[in-house]
Amino acid sequence: MSPVIMAAAVVLSAALVVIAAIHLVWALGIWWPVPDETRLARAVVGTEGVTRMPGAIPCSIVVVALLFASAWPWFMAAGDAPLGRLGGWVLTGVFFLRGGLSYTPFWRRLAPEDPFARLDRTLYGPICLALGAGFLVVTAGTG
């Protein structure tokens, strides 16, 4: 793995672990960074009329998925595994799709609540697009 690809993999993995840790905090019922559950739900869920955060099980599923995604660059780097590259392309697509949805009317109808709608366009969407770009770089570079 070239130094550039290695650096991209480290940054990608670190970012996903941090995001997983935030979801773990929520799975444990700790409302951070907004200590009020309704305000936090409106900031991170954004569905119309949301007043409660998702429960421990949905948050934990996201934690596991993010941790698998954080390990994926290293799985790809471990060898010439076609499954590893296929997974890298799938993750590239998933993050680009989620990031792109942030800017569509369809997504706004599903999650119209502010501050989520604003944060989605200015923070969550760009983060997902950056993660997609990271997976693109790592996946294309490990071929």
Please state the φ and ψ torsions of residue 81, each to the nearest 5 degrees: -100, 115
Express each pLDDT in 34-56 by its tens digit: 999 999 999 999 999 999 999 99
Does the model's pTM come out above 0.85? Answer: yes
Q: Is the pLDDT of residue 134 over 70?
A: yes
Q: Nearest to residue 139, comparing CAs of 68, 90, 70? A: 90
- How many percent of the chain have pLDDT more than 90? 85
What was the pLDDT predicted at 14? 98
Q: Is the pLDDT of residue 79 over 80?
A: no
Cis preceding-peptide flag for 33 (omega within 30 of 0): yes
Give mean pLDDT, residues 120-135: 98
